[in-house]
Chains A and B, each alone.
Chain A
Amino acid sequence: MSDKNNPFFVGYLPVPGPLRRFLLLASVLVVATFLLTGLLIGSTQDEPPASGFRFDYGRQTVTGVIELTPYPLLRVTQGNDLIKPGKTLMLTSGGKAGVDMRAMGLEGQLATVSGIILQRGTIDMMQLRGGRQGLAAAEGDPPEMVTEQLGRWKVAGEICDGKCLNGAMRPGRGLAHKACANLCLLGDVPPVFVSTQPIEGSDFMLITGPDGTRLPDAAYNYIGQFISLEGDLERRGDILVLRMDTTTMELIDG
């Protein structure tokens, strides 16, 4: 049987005297524990750098030559105030989707693209508008584009999806972002390698499979983790493209 002297808490009634101190102490402890835990976990994370959609730039429209690496790039030939000729833009679509299918028929041709820029430091990307408003063939003969071979390199760093790394998600990299990155990459968003140190002046490069193939299956297991790998590097405009050698991919200890 219940003891009538035993205080019993009912949410909508005044708190019984003997329980007040306990309730106050428990409330303070719970709030303090959540605060402290949040601060502790937050302190283990790196500060995400300034990045994201640059809606403040407004919609950008430029023309250039489409190249498939196999991930589509636009080598800008007719730019604007913000995007100068000679620049190379990675292209993506809304959500977790790339523009491979839309760009496929335009390889090597002049095309006009329109969309919003994503930017993180020296790396950027354009999220295209839907349909022909975002990507359409342009009139004229495409100029010849030079690809500069930079040799074979051994690099260390991390494979991310280019869109989240550019600020669509923040921090957009690391182990906690692995599942999101894999979804983006499966949706054909261009993959990007983040190097520990700049290579030929750039910390970031588009990464592909060997011999111009898509990112190999084996790479998906290492997304968001720190790895070393070897590959052939090339420069296309102001962007580097690393063609990885899958057999050299290794997880870095520590």
Chain B
Amino acid sequence: MNQAELILFIVKLWGAAGALVAIPFLIFGIDRLDEDARGAYVFRPLLVPGILLIWPLILWRWYILADGKDEWSHRYRPRRHNHQWFAMIMPVAIIVIIVAGLSVRQSWPADILPERLAPPAEVSE
């Protein structure tokens, strides 16, 4: 298995695990956690791509909420608290990615000519 196949395999595995989480969560889990979702079904397929991506977070939040360990006043604090760091890191990261991409970029080796090293050994049909 080469690196490309390994990456693809991991992505598929992640997605399959996400599907295993999405099915029970969207069928009955979401009803227990969000009373506004009860009786509403059309929007649920729209959540599938997101759940495939962040299924560990879904599982964690599902566990916290179902177990009654959640404190609603703290629910949004972590994200708001970290906004300033993300606001600073994101533009820097974008610039670093662009500069890194351009720095590893090769020049098309137009000056290297094809070279015949040996004539054909035989002619086959």
Q: Which residue of B lies closest to A46 (CB)?
A: B108
Whether B112 and A221, one on each chain, are in contact in the complex, defined by CB atoms closer than 8 angstroms, is no
Question: Which B residues touch A153, using CB under 8 A?
Answer: 114-117
Beyond contacts A151-B117, A154-B115, A196-B113: 5 other A-B pairs, Cβ-Cβ < 8 A, are A196-B108, A196-B112, A196-B114, A218-B2, A254-B109
Known contacts A151-B120, A186-B4; is A41 also within 8 Å of B98 by CB?
yes
Complex-state Cα separation, A155 to B112, whole angstroms: 8
Bitwise, B23-57 to A at CB < 8 A (1) or not (0) is 00000000000000000000000000000000000
Shortest B112–chain A CB gap in Å is 4
Whether B4 and A197, one on each chain, are in contact in the complex, defined by CB atoms closer than 8 angstroms, is no
Determine if A217 is an interface residue (Cβ-Cβ < 8 Å): yes
What residues make up the interface of A, taking CB atoms closer than 8 Å to B?
A: 41, 44, 144-157, 175-176, 182-183, 185-186, 195-199, 217-218, 220-221, 223, 225-226, 228, 230, 252, 254
Whether B120 and A147, one on each chain, are in contact in the complex, defined by CB atoms closer than 8 angstroms, is no
Complex-state Cα separation, A151 to B108, whole angstroms: 25
Out of B5, B104, B105, B116, which one reaches A186, CB within 8 Å?
Answer: B5
Known contacts A186-B8, A254-B106; is A221 also within 8 Å of B116 by CB?
no
Bitwise, B1-31 to A at CB < 8 A (1) or not (0) is 1111100100000000000000000000000
Number of chain B residues whose Cβ lies closer than 8 Å to a Cβ of chain A: 31
Determine if B119 is an interface residue (Cβ-Cβ < 8 Å): yes
Q: Which residue of B lies closest to A251 (CB)?
A: B106
Whether A156 and B123, one on each chain, are in contact in the complex, defined by CB atoms closer than 8 angstroms, is no
Determine if B124 is an interface residue (Cβ-Cβ < 8 Å): yes
Shortest B116–chain A CB gap in Å is 5
7 smallest A-B Cβ distances: which pairs? A149-B120, A217-B2, A156-B112, A182-B4, A152-B118, A220-B4, A220-B2
Q: Is the contact region of chain B dominated by helix, strand, or loop, or is it mixed?
A: loop
Determine if B107 is an interface residue (Cβ-Cβ < 8 Å): yes
Question: Which A residues touch B107, using CB under 8 A?
Answer: 226, 254
Whether B112 and A252, one on each chain, are in contact in the complex, defined by CB atoms closer than 8 angstroms, is yes
Q: Which residue of B lies closest to A181 (CB)?
A: B4
Shortest B97–chain A CB gap in Å is 11
Whether B124 and A149, one on each chain, are in contact in the complex, defined by CB atoms closer than 8 angstroms, is yes
Whether A221 and B120, one on each chain, are in contact in the complex, defined by CB atoms closer than 8 angstroms, is no
Known contacts A149-B123, A221-B3; is A156 also within 8 Å of B114 by CB?
yes
Whether B116 and A151, one on each chain, are in contact in the complex, defined by CB atoms closer than 8 angstroms, is yes
Within 8 A of A (CB), among B81-116: 98, 101-102, 104-116
Q: Which residue of B lies closest to A200 (CB)?
A: B114
Question: Which A residues touch B117, using CB under 8 A?
Answer: 151-154, 230
Complex-state Cα separation, A198 to B115, whole angstroms: 11
Q: Which residue of A lies closest to B123 (CB)?
A: A149
Determine if B122 is an interface residue (Cβ-Cβ < 8 Å): yes
Complex-state Cα separation, A44 to B106, whole angstroms: 12
